[in-house]
Amino acid sequence: MNFGFVSTRFSGTDGVTLESAKWAEVLWRDGHVSHWYSGLSDRNPDISMCVPEAHFAHPEVEWINERIWSTTTRTRQVTERIRAMADYIKSTLYDFADRFAIDVLVPENALTIPMNVPLGIAITEFLSETGMPSIAHHHDFYWERTRFSISGIHDLLDQAFPPRVPNMVHTVINSPAQEQISRRKGVGALLIPNVFDFEQPAPEPDDYTADVRESLGLAEDDIFILQPTRVVPRKGIEHAIKLVGMLNNPKCKLVISHDAGDEGYEYHAMLEELAQQEGVDMRIVADRVSEVRQLDADVRKLYTLWDLYPHCDLVTYPSTYEGFGNALLEAIYFKKPVVINRYSIFIEDIEPKGFKLALMDGVVTKGTLSQVERLLNNPAYCEEVVEHNYQVACQYYSYEILRRSFSSILGNLTGWSPEKSKIQ
């Protein structure tokens, strides 16, 4: 069948973009073809449709957003412009469905978090009018974000974020979301966690990445501690700094892969000051990390995040909140030891699976430090731990888990099954 993925953007390394690509890969293995509709796209133009009005950064969408949040009412003009934008986007969804003969629509977070309200309304009305089967992939709901708590569009949020339409299967990435959508919307949802292709081993380092340590200013005997996240407060990077300080080893270098981006630099400045106070060698290497391998304007190599993992000795993941935790799976995929903060989704969904990780519970304790030192100083124990974690991940977070979920969903929605596909 032809699947139509729809979102505000399919570009870069955000969670929605990455997970949708994994869904498409698993669908492809059963013979399905995926097409892409978004406001910003890095997908092949032959199988995609880019409509700028679908992006959350489109000027009209930004104009609307400035007038619907942190207020309890909206003007008639705002309503009319939302309506006009939704009608236009809906017409392009019809064009998309016709051009690629879409059988199943897959809204990717577009009916979950209201970054583009007209897009959500357009998708909802398109599905109500066509009856097309759909699988809504929900990553993070608006009620999980403080900035969406006060609005002048409660009626529209109720209508489309997410909608209640009979031809839609809802999927969520964690169990609290599964409970909340049932309580708030009266609909059931299938829990499909983020996944990795654990059946295929991680790529080995190659000639391009042979000089990663040298390029980042690290010596061969330095202890490369990787924080594979952006510099934003919920990542809890101050705990990683505290941990490295407690290790009290000048060979320990904390390397942060990404910068603050569009969320401000106050937290960045605080971390710089804290690292200085703790005597920690902290390096933010965002200027050497890119979405693809390439050379920068100074003819320096740029590496991907996946180029860094094979060369690090420990991964820190002290987040205070995550919708799931892709970086955790990445570290396990590359067979690296991890120190992790027990954020709520980890406690409820991931910890019971039985991973062996160095744990912290809001603060770095002597117990945390002892676990980390054992991982760094006992290679045999570390090898045992990372191999155990890989096998646990294969059991619970592999592509096969996703494939089984698709078989169940598509069987209920359309009557399709892998066996029928083979017969055809």
Residues of the chain with CATH 3.40.50.2000: 2-195+399-423, 207-396
**Please, which pLDDT band fits residue 424 given cuts at 50, 70 and 90?**
very low
What is the CATH class of 2-195+399-423? alpha beta
Contact 157, 74 (CB under 8 A): no
**Homologous superfamily (CATH) for 207-396:** Glycogen Phosphorylase B; (3.40.50.2000)
Can you read off the two tokens belonging to residue 293?
A: 């391998």
As given in the structure block, the two tokens for residue 111 are 């009916």
Give the pLDDT confidence of 177-230 residue by residue, as tens digits: 999 999 999 999 999 999 999 999 998 899 999 999 999 999 999 999 999 999
Residue 348 has pLDDT above 50, yes or no: yes
Give the mean pLDDT of the chain.
94
Q: CA-CA distance, 20 to 37, in Å (whole number)?
A: 12
pLDDT tens digit sequence for 351-395: 999 999 999 999 999 999 999 999 999 999 999 999 999 999 999
Predicted confidence at residue 221, as pLDDT, reads: 95
- CA separation for the pair 179, 184 (Å, rounded): 9
What does the DSSP 8-state code read for residue 106? Answer: E
Which H or E run includes 172? Answer: strand 168-172
pLDDT for position 418: 66
- 197 near 393, Cβ under 8 Å? no
User: What interhelical angle do 399-414 and 15-29 show, nearest 10?
Assistant: 70
Residue 5's SS3 state is strand
pTM (two decimals): 0.89
Quick: pLDDT tens for 403-418.
999 998 998 888 777 6
Q: Is 89 in contact with 51 (CB distance < 8 Å)?
A: yes
Residue with tokens 């090898």: 383
The answer for residues whose C-beta is within 8 angstroms of residue 378's C-beta and 6 or more apart is none
pLDDT in tens, 218-269: 999 999 999 999 999 999 999 999 999 999 999 999 999 998 865 668 999 9
Give the other-Cβ count within 10 Å of 268's Cβ.
Answer: 18
- The DSSP code for 203 is P
Region 276-280: what's the mean pLDDT? 96
Residue 146 has pLDDT above 90, yes or no: no
pLDDT (tens digit per residue) in 85-114: 999 999 999 999 999 999 999 999 999 999
The pLDDT-based confidence of 423 (bands split at 50, 70, 90) is very low
Q: Which H/E stretch holds residue 254?
A: strand 252-256
CA distance 97 to 86: 16
